[in-house]
Amino acid sequence: MALLNRSDWYDIARDTNWTPKYVTEDALFPPQMSDCFDIPREKWAGYDEPYKTTYREYVKVQREKDAGAYSVKAALARMKFFEGADPGWLSILKAHYGAIAVQEYAAGMAEARMARFGKASGMRNMATFGLLDETRHGQIQLYFPHEHVNKDRQFDWAHKAMHTNEWGAIAARHMFADMMNTRDAVSVAIMLTFAFETGFTNMQFLGLAADAAEAGDFTFANLISSIQTDEARHAQIGAPALKILIENGKQEEAQRKVDIAFWRSWRLFTVLTGPMMDYYTPLDKREKSFKEFMEEWIIGQFERNMLDLGLDKPWYWDIFLEELNDTHHGMHMGVWYWRPTVWWNPAAGASSAERDWLEEKYPGWNDTWGQCWDVIAANVAAGREDLLLPQTLPVICNMTNLPIVGRPGKRWKLRDYHLDYKGRRYHFGSEPDRWVFEQEPERYAGHTTLVDRFVAGLVQPPTIEGALQYMNLGQGEIGEDAHGYDWAFDYQNFRKQAV
Amino acid sequence: MHPLVVNFEADFVLQLLPVEADFTMDQVAEAAAFHSLNRRVKPQSGKTLRVRVQDADVPLGREVTVAQAGLREMETVEVYYE
Ligand SMILES: [Fe+2]
Ligand SMILES: [Fe+2]
């Protein structure tokens, strides 16, 4: 018997809606789990997902994707890329897996929420595939780093990181939980899939794949671009949901949620993706700067998506564009200077040739960030290890849980955007971070940053060593300079020749 | 222990600074300098470090203590060369 075409039966088969007789509508779809915008269910019948697939098609394609990624890994295992890889590149792998792999499972739970509580059957259908996608992303990104664990304990953090109180892990959990795991299905659709997955996953999974291919790491390049093909599909859950919200007079509230999620995503990427692209990737393998990738993948595309739907650019757009020049340089310097507190070995990326590249991509870098790296390089040359490591903690933002950074040197610009709420002072790294808090203060007020916990005496002994213990960082795991300070000697020699 | 948030001139990050309530502003500045000067910021000779509450127009007196200045815990202060 010939199979019917998909279009002949898809609309009927996916429509699993019925009218409940034994429970109320609200018991079947509790608003806090389903739709906090309270759009009547019949309006959700108009939800039209742009990407239609069936289970049979899905399984066939996914099987081929997995077979491809695993066979590239198996074929290249004999090439011993790992042994010859630049230490900066290995740091990218460690940071990526630790920050991402376990969060993929959390993303699976977010998809599951849409699959169960979405009132639109099209949303439920797509999110069911999304749940399978995220399960695949979790499994494959735990499996690939696992083969390196016996050579390098830091790779163990692919699984370990999210189960610790390491500061970067707290930051990732706080941000992803806010966007994915503590919202109703409709908010997840617009915050996770539209605001985050549409643009930002391209940065981490396609931009970085370009650098990976340049660096000769075809296993990783293949893996993350394979993942991105799934993201590109299930990221489309959000736009049709936004359309329905706007049609039903919820534009302002929808805009607010998109703005929150976009800002939070941006900030996390300044500490994760920014340093990888502009400092850790070996200079001759860099495809583009972080800022150029942002311009390509985020700015044009996201702006267009927003305007096409009838939304505006976020109110903080000018602040965001200015931050593209600065914030990730500060996050990088913070990670490098406090390197014992991370599970990878930060590459300074400040040799003379790298500094020329940074100055070209970010005019004024030498007068700002370069001023600090001058002092650091001089300390390396003088053997002052005591000045190369911190004796206190950076102050952490009560929204991002990342250090509060600004621009140093000759154009010093750094401030605390603080707020007093119910007798407690909260510190923020930017005006939009404070704004996010003010939108729903009770949602965020109870959380304590690592520094709050330190000040409250929860970290014992109250020293850097005590903080490392609190973060579960043991010997063989704590970060060191990826290149044993080689970059600094190179820069010092360059300076001597120049004099 | 009386923790402050320090923003040191020409540095890139806010830092936690544990001081005591009877520290003078000169002592606060010195304690703050330990975490920035010669680590990421070059010292400037012949100038004095002053302390002001973030956004204040004038610095706090050099002999004024943390308690006298009424600085709350985790108050954000700027330490800069005059
Ligand atoms: Fe994913
Ligand atoms: Fe996803």
pLDDT of A494 strictly over 70: no
Contact A375 B40 (CB under 8 A): yes
| Mean of pLDDT values over A397-402 | 98
> Which class for A477: exposed (0-12), middle (13-18), buried (19 or more C-beta within 10 A)?
buried
DSSP B43: -
Model pLDDT, residue A466: 94
Please name the residue ranges forming H helices in A248-299: 251-275, 290-294
Secondary structure, 3-state, A168-234: HHHHHHHHHHHHHHCCCHHHHHHHHHHHHHCCHHHHHHHHHHHHHHHCCCHHHHHHHHHHHHHHHHH
Model pLDDT, residue A498: 58
Range of weakest confidence among A63-77, A309-323, A353-367, B9-23: A63-77
Which residue's entry shows tokens 């943390």? B66
The token pair at A191 is 């915050």
State how far Cα A336 lies from the chain centre.
Answer: 19
DSSP A91: H
Are the C-beta atoms of residues A145 and A97 closer than 8 Å to each other? yes
Q: What is the pLDDT of residues A436-459, one digit of tens each?
A: 999 999 999 999 999 999 999 999
Contact A330 B12 (CB under 8 A): yes
φ, ψ at A84 (rounded to 5°): -100, 0
pLDDT of A499 strictly over 60: no
| Mean of pLDDT values over A89-114 | 97
Q: At what angle do helices A369-381 and A352-361 cross, to 10 degrees?
A: 170
Radius of gyration of chain A (CA): 23
Can you tell me the distance from the alpha carbon of A245 to that of A243, in angstroms, rounded to the nearest whole number? 5
Q: What percent of chain A has pLDDT over 70?
A: 98
Model pLDDT, residue A44: 95
Residue in B2, B4, B14 to test binding to A, most A beta-carbons within 10 Å: B14
pLDDT of A496 strictly over 70: no
Q: What is the pLDDT of residues A305-329, one digit of tens each?
A: 999 999 999 999 999 999 999 999 9
Contact A455 B74 (CB under 8 A): yes
Can you tell me the distance from the alpha carbon of A383 to that of A388, in angstroms, rounded to the nearest whole number? 9
Domains of chain B are 2-81 (3.10.20.270)
The token pair at B27 is 């002592």
- State the pLDDT confidence band at A171, using cuts at 50, 70 and 90: very high
- State the pLDDT confidence band at A497, using cuts at 50, 70 and 90: low
Q: Which CATH class is domain A23-498?
A: mainly alpha
**Closest by Cβ to B10, choosing from A371, A403, A454:** A371
Which ligand has the minimum distance to the alpha carbon of residue A136?
1
Residue of A nearest to B39 (CA): A387
| Mean of pLDDT values over A482-497 | 82
CA torsion sign for B20, B72, A439, A334 is negative
Q: What is the pLDDT of residues A333-360, one digit of tens each?
A: 999 999 999 999 999 999 999 999 999 9
Please report, for chain A, the start and end positions of each structural domain, with discontinuous segments joined by +. Answer: 23-498
Can you tell me the distance from the alpha carbon of A289 to that of A284, in angstroms, rounded to the nearest whole number? 12
CA torsion sign for B33, A270, A135, A120 is positive
Model pLDDT, residue A301: 86
Range of weakest confidence among A77-86, A144-153, A232-241, A311-320: A77-86
The token pair at A307 is 């305007």
Residues in chain A: 499
Which is more confident, A13 or A140? A140
Which residue's entry shows tokens 């010195």? B30
Q: Taking CB atoms and an 8 Å cutoff, what residues of chain A touch B54?
A: 415-416
Secondary structure, 3-state, A337-352: HCHHHCCCCCCCCCCH
The nearest CA of chain B is from the CA of A85 a distance in Å of 30
Q: What is the pLDDT of residues A3-57, one digit of tens each?
A: 888 888 888 888 888 889 999 999 999 999 999 999 998 999 999 998 889 999 9
Contact A371 B15 (CB under 8 A): no
Which ligand has the minimum distance to the alpha carbon of residue A129?
2
Are the C-beta atoms of residues A397 and A433 closer than 8 Å to each other? yes
- β B2-8/B76-81 pair status: parallel
Q: Taking CB atoms and an 8 Å cutoff, what residues of chain A touch B15?
A: 392-395
The residues that bridge with A419 in the sheet, in sequence order, are A426
The nearest CA of chain B is from the CA of A182 a distance in Å of 30
The average confidence (pLDDT) of chain A is 94
| Mean of pLDDT values over B33-57 | 97
